Amino acid sequence: MKLIRKAKGFFYFTSLRFRCRRYPEKTDYIEVNGQRLLYATRGPEKGRPVVLLHGNGGSHLSMSTQAMELAMAGYRVYSPDSRGQGANPPLEEYHYADMAEDTYQFIKALGLEKPAVYGWSDGGVIALMLETAHPGTCGLIAVSGANLCPDCGPGFEDFKAWILSEGTPLAMMMLEEPNIDPATLSAIKCPVQVSVGSDDLISVEHTKLIADSIPDSELVVVPKADHRSYIKKNPRMGRLLSGFFASHNYLP
């Protein structure tokens, strides 16, 4: 069954790349918050903006499926590599608040007016912290597999063991951060979609806490999905995002 799912994912992603040839990925660098970050763009230049934020240790390529799906739908997609990750040189210290500020300055530097922001895993943490620190920056927010504190699921002890085995500054950050008070999420006034896999590293209960703490939010539990299976080479997240955007009239 697992091999069948992988095969389906491969063929879907290959077909998507073929269909998205008219919107090739373009990369550039931008200076924000004392960091030089690589970022990628896709989609029609006049499309409404969507910012995609990848997970810990990833890059903009982690969000390739969603970038191509949204570009083909007519959105202009911006996918930065987070500081010290992807094409950016590694750092000796990492904090989510710094990455949230990077993202805020990225949005402002490119002149994006209330973009939709989608963050997966660490990217979801960054998206939430961005909007609580700078209310009104985002037009819409969607987060998947995000957490408010390190210990937020039944698999934390195993995850902790993996972090310690990695021992890198980026991995070790996840033992101490984030530390987001759920009450601060009430400052988020834009519509928010909060999703999680039914078998995610982040528990459904913890994800429900996030959704319940945000005034205008909806909770989506993706069945038979783990932390990454509905993101990597899978159309599920693209469909969820397209439906969420359309339900709030955020059309290309």
Low pLDDT (below 70) residues in the chain: 1-7
pTM of the model: 0.95
Which 3-state string (H, E, C) describes 142-204?
A: EEECCCCCCCCCCCHHHHHHHHHHHCCHHHHHHHHCCCCCHHHHHHCCCCEEEEEECCCCCCH
Contact by Cβ (8 Å): 212, 185: no
The CATH class that applies to domain 2-247 reads alpha beta
What pLDDT does residue 10 have? 76
What pLDDT was estimated at residue 7?
Answer: 67
